[in-house]
């Protein structure tokens, strides 16, 4: 279970939960 912090930081406008579920 690794959370893409870099992607979350780059995609602050997009909900991190959606990105986490997608990845």
- How much is the pLDDT for 14? 62
Residue 11 gets which letter from DSSP?
T
- Residue 10, C-beta contacts closer than 8 angstroms, at least 6 positions apart: none
Q: What is the pTM of this model?
A: 0.18
- Residue 4, C-beta contacts closer than 8 angstroms, at least 6 positions apart: 19, 20, 23
pLDDT digits (tens, 9 = 90+) for 1-23: 566 666 656 656 666 666 665 55
- How much is the pLDDT for 16? 63
- How much is the pLDDT for 22? 57
Q: Let me know: does 7 contact 23? Beta carbons within 8 Å.
A: yes
């Amino acid at each position: 279970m690794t959370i893409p912090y870099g992607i979350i930081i780059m995609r602050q406008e997009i909900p991190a939960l959606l990105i986490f579920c997608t990845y």
